[in-house]
């Protein structure tokens, strides 16, 4: 996709959140009601906007649901983070809306699918809850980076968080190894 106004893309993503529809792939073993609630929350909570890659469709940017919630595509390597932009602009976003560059470095959106090696397949509900509540990876690692709005999501009830996690565990696993974030010094040096 050609370089478009990245911020506009992000804004478009937010507006389009309501139209994002997840696949119906709930495991029969999972609580159907909880899965449905989680699917609803993931949709209106705009999770797709950043965690499902965008592609250039016939009518403009659209979610690539074949890679639903699988995060920044491993085949879209960011070899060279962008140069810092002039004030008052702060962040830059790539064309899949999954890589964000700013003062915090470059962050890549996570693979939320239940793939065991590259996604959340070996996570427990506690892993997810601790992450959102604390704003740290797995509740105790590095800080979660912008633009993940955990400050708002941490207000969710345990029940809603569990529904979201149950839904995410029900969707098709996608093998996609998301890169580690790049620290600011790396971004500046390149």
Partner 1 sequence: MRALGFATRSFIILLAAGTVLASRPAWPAVDAAPARLSETGLYVPGTKRIDPSLVSFRPQYPLWSDGATKRRWLFIPPGTSIDAAGPGGWDFPVGTRLWKEFSYGLPVETRLIERLADGTWRYVAYVWRPDLGDALLAPADGIADLAVPTTPGGRYTIPSEDDCRACHEGPAVPVLGLSALQLSADRDPLVRHLDEIDPNELDLVALHEAGLIRNLPAALLDTPPRIDSASATERAALGYLHANCGHCHNADGALALLEMTLHVDSSVAEVRRTLTGVKSDFRMHGFDRRIVPGLPHASVLALRMRSREPLEQMPPLGTRFKDDEGIALVERWIREDLILAQGEANDEIDQSN
Nearer CB in complex with partner 1: 66/124 = 124
Q: How far is the CB of 94 from partner 1 (least distance, A)?
A: 18
Nearer CB in complex with partner 1: 29/185 = 185
Q: Are 162 and 169 in contact (CB under 8 A)?
A: no
Q: Which run of H or E residues covers position 152?
A: helix 150-153
Q: How far apart are the first and last CA of the chain?
A: 23
CA distance linking residue 184 with residue 106, whole number of Å: 7
CA distance linking residue 152 with residue 177, whole number of Å: 27
Q: How far is the CB of 63 from partner 1 (least distance, A)?
A: 25
Q: How far is the CB of 108 from partner 1 (least distance, A)?
A: 12
Residues that bind partner 1 (CB under 8 A): 84-90, 102-105, 122-124, 126-127, 130, 133-136, 138-143, 145-146, 149, 151-152, 154-155, 180-181, 183, 185, 188
Nearer CB in complex with partner 1: 43/104 = 104
Report residue 81 as tokens.
């983070």
Q: How far is the CB of 173 from partner 1 (least distance, A)?
A: 16
CA distance linking residue 126 with residue 130, whole number of Å: 6
């Amino acid at each position: 996709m050609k370089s478009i106004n990245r911020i506009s893309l992000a804004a478009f993503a937010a507006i389009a959140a309501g139209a994002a529809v997840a696949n119906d792939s709930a495991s029969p073993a999972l609580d159907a009601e909880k899965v449905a609630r989680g699917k609803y929350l993931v949709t209106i909570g705009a999770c797709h906007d950043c965690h499902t890659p965008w592609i250039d469709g016939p009518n403009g940017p659209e979610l690539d649901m074949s890679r639903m919630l699988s995060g920044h595509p491993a085949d879209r390597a960011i070899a060279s983070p962008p140069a810092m932009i002039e004030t008052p602009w702060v962040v830059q976003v790539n064309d899949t809306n999954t890589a964000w560059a700013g003062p915090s470095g470059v962050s890549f959106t996570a693979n939320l699918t239940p793939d065991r090696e590259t996604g959340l397949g070996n996570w427990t509900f506690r892993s997810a809850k601790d992450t959102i509540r604390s704003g740290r990876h797995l509740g105790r690692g590095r800080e979660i980076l912008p633009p993940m709005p955990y400050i708002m999501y941490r207000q969710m009830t345990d029940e809603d968080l569990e529904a979201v996690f149950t839904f995410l565990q029900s969707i098709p696993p996608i093998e996609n190894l998301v890169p580690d974030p790049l620290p600011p010094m790396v971004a500046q040096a390149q």
